[in-house]
Amino acid sequence: MRNEFVTPRLYSPAMNSARFFRGMACLLALQCAFVLIASAQTPPAQPQTEEPSTAPASTASPSPAPHKLPLARAFVRDEWKIWSSPFKRDSYSAHGVKKYVLPFALISVALLATDRKTADLLPNSSDQTLWSTRVSRLGGAYTLTGISGAVFLVGKATGNHHASETGWLSLYALGHTQAVVQVLKFATQRERPISDESHSGFFRGGDSFPSGHAASSFAIATVFAYEYRDHIAVPITAYTLASLVSISRMGARRHWASDVFVGGSLGFLLGRFVYKTHHDPNLPGSPVGTRSRLIPVFGYGGGTAMLEWRL
């Protein structure tokens, strides 16, 4: 028996809103401190000892130019790469399609076919919807923009180039995520599971597919995870928060399970693309390979299904 669904009041009473914004401020400050502490613990590059040289001073090689962060022109160029890559043959390989792309497609199709049953498994009570809505605000564009922007500004103010790149690439990934998600929402027009009468089909004037909160959360989590891969607490915290936000969108009855899965996967890929394309190799972080690829690995055996991401 499903409990009666009651639409929650998102910003009332006033006390709950005040608690929420105080929590956001604490989370933002904690995230900035976490990143700066992790950066401070990264050992700086050892300066090379000077050796006497007989070469003239004029022949000394100039110092490398500072790394430039991507701007508007780079954003447009990257958008073209993102939208055209699925139609390029060199984006696929027989091994990749068999081991990664095909299982990913099968999972998406299976979730699409069972979205109604998956939604019915939840209690769908008013308390569930209310608390899930509160948790899902962590993945809102305004919250993620504030956290990423704060990390960037604090990194700039303190001269921490690693933190400033992390904040900027997070904002950059968020911009790409919003652009791609909004286009897909407009194209698919899937109705949200707000009520028992909602349909899980497409082209009904909705904006449910894919989940923007899940995509944005995983895009920024991926940037942080790659930038601070040597500090295991950062990837764990980032992906845990992104997963909580994604699950909460189902609990808030704002998205179907397939919306969340596809949105989270899309966010991961976009965050990974931004990092691999624009990370300064002179800074700490995950090594950038020229042919590094995807991605989700799905396995089934012993009555247990497993989904993991190979970075």
The pTM assigned to this predicted structure is 0.73
pLDDT in tens, 72-118: 889 999 999 999 988 888 777 777 788 778 888 999 999 999 999 99
Cα dihedral: 131, 132, 136, 137 (round 10): -30
pLDDT at residue 66 in the model: 52
Residue 37: CB atoms within 10 Å? 12
> Does position 138 have pLDDT exceeding 60, yes or no?
yes
Q: Is the pLDDT of residue 16 over 50?
A: no
DSSP 3-state of 304: strand
Residue 295 has pLDDT above 60, yes or no: no
pLDDT exceeds cutoff 50 at 47: no
- For 35-48, what is the mean pLDDT? 42
* Structure confidence by residue, pLDDT tens digits, 193-205: 987 777 888 998 9
Q: With H, G, I as helix, E, B as strand and everything else as coil, classify residue 309.
A: strand
Residue 17 pLDDT grade (very low, low, confident, very high; cuts 50, 70, 90): very low
Q: What is the DSSP string of 87-149?
A: G-GGG--HHHIIIIIHHHHHHHHHHHHTHHHHHHTS---HHHHHHHHHHHGGGSHHHHHHHHH
Phi and psi torsions of 253, nearest 5°: 60, 40
Q: How high is the pLDDT of residue 72?
A: 82
Higher pLDDT, 222 or 43: 222
DSSP secondary structure letter of residue 42:
S
Show the tokens assigned to 147.
């956290």
Residue 19 has pLDDT above 60, yes or no: no
Residue 300 confidence class, pLDDT cut points 50, 70, 90: very low
In this predicted model, which residue has the larger pLDDT, 113 or 38?
Answer: 113
More confident residue, 13 or 141: 141
Which of 291, 255, 295, 292 lies closest to 102 in space, CA to CA? Answer: 295
- For the stretch 169-179, pLDDT in tens is 999 999 999 99
What is the pLDDT, as a whole number, of residue 170?
97
- Residue 288, pLDDT score: 82
